[in-house]
Amino acid sequence: MDAFIIEGGNPLQGEVTISGAKNAVLGIIPAAVLCACSSKIENVPDIKDVNKMIVILEKLGAEIYREKDTLIINTEKPISYDVSDYEEETGQMRASYYLLGALLGRYRKAIVPLPGGCNIGDRPIDQHIKGFQALGATVVIEHGQVKMEAPELKGAHIFLDVVSVGATINIMLAAVRADGKTIIENAAKEPHIVDVANFLNLMGANIKGAGTDVIKIVGVEEMHGCEYSVIPDQITTGTYMMAAAATEGDILIKNVIPKHMEAITAKLSEMGVIVLEEDDGIRVIGKHPLKAVNVKTMPYPGFPTDLQQPMAVLMTIAQGTSTITESIFESRFKYVDELRRMGANISINSRTASITGVKALSATKIRTTDLRAGAAMVIAGLIADGETKITEIVHIDRGYENLQENLRNLGADIRRISEKDPACL
C-alpha cells in the first residue's frame, strides 16, 4: 500500500531519459516464444507489467536472464501452452492476451485466462477471437479461460470491426506462423504495432504494412532468435511533457522519437507551451497562462487515450473552458472526482468532459483509479498548493519506470511512503 507525498509548486528543470515502450515490449516478450530459439531484447523497462509477463513465461518453462534493461529469453526447450494455472498474474494486466496469439502460432493450441488490466470501460476481446477463428482456430471460453486449438493455421483476410491495438498485434503473432497469406484490414497503426512487427520480421517473419491500416503477413515455417532494442515509450514521454508544461518547467526529454509525439506537441503548442524538437529529444518549456483547447482521443496518429488524463490536469489551470472527448474507452473519466476534490471545475456529459480553468489546484488526499489516471494525479500534485497524498500508486508502478526518482532529479518534491492496509491491522 505505497503512496506518494508531493509538495507542489516546484517547476521541473533538467533532463530525463525515457525507457522502453510498455505496450511494445508487452507484445515483444510473448513474440519471443514463437520459435525454439533465444532472443536478446534491450531497452526493457523495469515495470510491474513486464515483471509479471516474465514470471508467467518462466512458469511456462522459458529460461529468462535479465541484466539491467536487457532480457534474454530462451525457449529452445518446449514450453507449456497452458497458462490456466497463472490466473493471478494474467488477471493483473491486459497484455496477457498476447500469450493467446503467440502460443497458438507456435503450438496450434493455447489455454489462457481472460485478461485483466485497467478498469476503463468495456474491453471485449471479440476482435482477437474473430481473427483467431478466421485463421482456423476453434475458440471456447469457459471457466474464465480462453481455450483454442487449430489443427491447421491458415492465412485469412480479416477486417477488424474496430481499430484495436490488441487484436492487431495478437493476430500478427499467430499469423506469422500460419500457412499462406493473412491480410488485416482496419489495423491499428500505433508505434508499438510497428515495433512488434519489426521484432517479428527480425525473427524471420514476413510482415509488410505495419503502421498503415492494411497489414500483410506471409506465414513462415521457421523463425529464429534475434537481437532487438524496444522503442521509447510515447505515453511516458507525453506524461513528462505535460508535467513540464503544468509546472512552468523547462526540461529536455531524451531518447524519444519526436514523430510519435506530433499530436501531443501540436496540442501543447496550441496551449502556449514551447515544444522544441531535436533528433532524439524534445525540450518542453511551460508558459502560463495556458490557453484552453479541445481534444478528442483517437487511434494513432490522433491524440492518444492514454494521455487524456494528464491533459485534463493541464486544462484545470488553463484560461477558459476546454473539452476532452474520449472516443476509445467509455469510462475513462473516473479520475475526475479526484481532481474535483482538488478544486477543479469539471462537468461530464456522456463522453465529453468540459473543464473550466481555476487559478490553482489545492492539495488534498487523492487516489489513483488506474495507470494513466495515476500519472495525472502526480501532475496534479506537482502543481497543487501544499502537500498532496496519492494513494493506490500500485497502478502507476505497472507502467512508469522510476517515476519518483526521475521527478526528484527534475526538482520535484515527491517521496514514496509505505502504509499498512488498515483492513489488515
**Binding-site residue ranges:** 22-23, 94, 123-127, 306, 328
Q: Environment class of residue 142 by beta-carbon count within 10 Å: exposed (0-12), middle (13-18) or buried (19+)?
A: exposed
Q: What x/- string results for residues 311 through 340 when contact with ligand EPU is judged by CB under 6 A?
A: -----------------xx-----------
Residue 102 interacts with ligand EPU (CB under 6 A): yes or no? no
The helix (H) or strand (E) run that includes residue 41 is strand 38-42
CB 96 within 8 A of CB 53: yes
**Span 172-211, contacts to ligand EPU by CB under 6 A:** 188
- Evaluate the omega torsion of the peptide bond into residue 289 and state whether it is cis, within 30 degrees of 0: yes
365-367 and 387-391 strand pairing: parallel
- Evaluate the omega torsion of the peptide bond into residue 304 and state whether it is cis, within 30 degrees of 0: no
The helix (H) or strand (E) run that includes residue 381 is helix 371-383
Query: Is the Cβ of residue 16 or residue 26 nearer to ligand EPU in the bound state?
Result: 26
**What count of other Cβ atoms lies within 10 Å of the Cβ of residue 151?**
9
Q: Which span (120-128, 275-283, 356-364, 416-424) binds ligand EPU, by CB under 6 A? A: 120-128
C-alpha torsion sign, points 282, 286, 289, 295? positive
Point out the catalytic residue in the list 35, 37, 118, 226: 118
Q: Which span (22-30, 50-58, 223-231, 349-357) binds ligand EPU, by CB under 6 A? A: 22-30
Residue 101 interacts with ligand EPU (CB under 6 A): yes or no? no
Residues at the binding site for UDP-N-acetyl-alpha-D-glucosamine are 94, 123-127, 306, 328
| Nearest by Cα to 245 from 388, 382, 409, 408 | 382
Q: Give the one residue of 102, 125, 226, 377 binding ligand EPU; rule: CB under 6 A.
A: 125
Residues at the binding site for phosphoenolpyruvate are 22-23
Residue 369 interacts with ligand EPU (CB under 6 A): yes or no? no
* 148: phi then psi, degrees, rounded to nearest 5: -130, 145
- Assign 420 to helix, strand or coil: coil
CB of 257 to ligand EPU, least distance (A): 17
Residue 162 interacts with ligand EPU (CB under 6 A): yes or no? yes
Q: Give the one residue of 165, 264, 275, 390 binding ligand EPU; rule: CB under 6 A.
A: 165
Number of residues that bind ligand EPU (CB under 6 A): 26
Residue 61 interacts with ligand EPU (CB under 6 A): yes or no? no
Strand partners, 252: 15, 283
The C-alpha R_g of the chain, in whole angstroms, comes to 21
Query: Is the Cβ of residue 106 or residue 192 nearer to ligand EPU in the bound state?
Result: 192
CB of 387 to ligand EPU, least distance (A): 27
Point out the residue whose Cβ comes nearest to ligand EPU.
166
Active site residue 37: no
CA distances from 281 to 232, 356, 381 (A): 11, 32, 26
Give the side-chain half-sphere CA count within 13 A for 207. Answer: 32
CA distances from 418 to 2, 269, 394 (A): 4, 38, 11
Q: Give the one residue of 399, 400, 404, 407 binding ligand EPU; rule: CB under 6 A.
A: 399
Q: Give the one residue of 19, 247, 305, 369 binding ligand EPU; rule: CB under 6 A.
A: 305
d(CA 309, CA 332): 8
Q: Give the one residue of 29, 53, 167, 203 binding ligand EPU; rule: CB under 6 A.
A: 167
Residue 116 interacts with ligand EPU (CB under 6 A): yes or no? no
Residue 123 interacts with ligand EPU (CB under 6 A): yes or no? yes
Q: Which residues are catalytic?
A: 118
